[in-house]
Amino acid sequence: MANRFGLVLRRPVLSAVTVLAVAGGAFAHEGATGIVKERMDAMERIATAMKRVGAMMNGKTDYEAGEVVRAAETIHRHGGENLTRLFPKDSLQRPTRARPDIWRDWQKFKSLADQVALYSDVLKDAAENGPVGSRQGMQSGVQPDKQSGGGQMMGQEPTDDPEQLRQMPARASFMRLARTCKACHTAFRTRK
Ligand code: HEC
């Protein structure tokens, strides 16, 4: 009796889970398969990590250096060759938004993928500096006008120098990393 009862109860739960999983997948990737799905999944993972750090930078969630380190590590794992290997020549199967220019300007594409690896590593180191101006940043001799890490917001060109960024508030390397995402999408991803 109990067994039969259990089965009856379990079935609707299972199908609800299945429906959710399928709906979620379809919503995100609309039927992508193979390498295209693999890279969309990878991009989603780094986007989730970026959002987590972004929420801390905006003060929407409490800043936790350990969380920033973990997010930076996730992003790092998807940078460099782990990113470029997801783009074998002419892999333009639907519903991809990748542009053929990727393989016409492979050096630029590769260099942006390398920047993901570089600046996520920098962000990991900068995590301990806190989101905005901190004692550590002061002691390292970084000029006060760089303390906000938002040079951009103060009408300054933000720095690209990894060593300088490692000493600066985490916000600076986060912004630099976000700029890398944007640069690659602008050059190599079709608009919706
Ligand atoms: C070297 C180039 C490059 C870099 C750097 C890059 N992306 Fe992408 N990204 C792409 C391309 C190309 C696509 C489209 C892939 C496709 O549709 O096949 C994409 C797609 C995406 C998508 C959509 C995935 C989906 O489900 O369709 C998200 C989200 C994303 N990227 C987030 C990021 C974030 C966040 C970063 C920075 C940490 C980043 N990307 C860095 C090239 C890049």
Q: What is the pLDDT of residue 24?
A: 44
Regarding the beta carbon of 175 and ligand 1, being less than 6 Å apart is answered: no
pLDDT of residue 19: 44
Selected residue with higher pLDDT from 2 and 70: 70
Cα(78) to centroid of ligand 1, in Å? 11
Ligand 1 lined by 123 (C-beta under 6 Å):
no
- pLDDT digits over 134-157, tens only? 444 444 444 444 444 444 445 556
What is the whole-number distance in angstroms between the Cα of residue 38 and the centre of ligand 1? 11
pTM for the full predicted model: 0.81
Q: Give the pLDDT confidence score for residue 192 in this predicted structure.
A: 83
Is the CB of residue 179 below 6 angstroms from any atom belonging to ligand 1?
A: no
Atom of ligand 1 nearest to the CA of 110: 1
- Give the CATH number of domain 33-188: 1.20.120.10
75 lines ligand 1 (CB under 6 A): yes
From the CA of 142, how far away is ligand 1's center (Å)? 32
Domain boundaries, the chain: 1-30, 33-188
Q: Which residues of 30-65 are buried (b: 16+ CB within 10 A; e: fewer)?
A: eebeeebbebbeebeebeebbebbbebbeeeeebeb
pLDDT > 70? residue 21: no
Q: Are 95 and 31 in contact (CB under 8 A)?
A: yes
Is the CB of 39 within 6 Å of ligand 1? Answer: yes
**In the predicted model, is pLDDT for residue 81 greater than 80?**
yes
Widest pairwise Cα distance in the chain: 75
Confidence of residue 158 (pLDDT cuts 50, 70, 90): confident
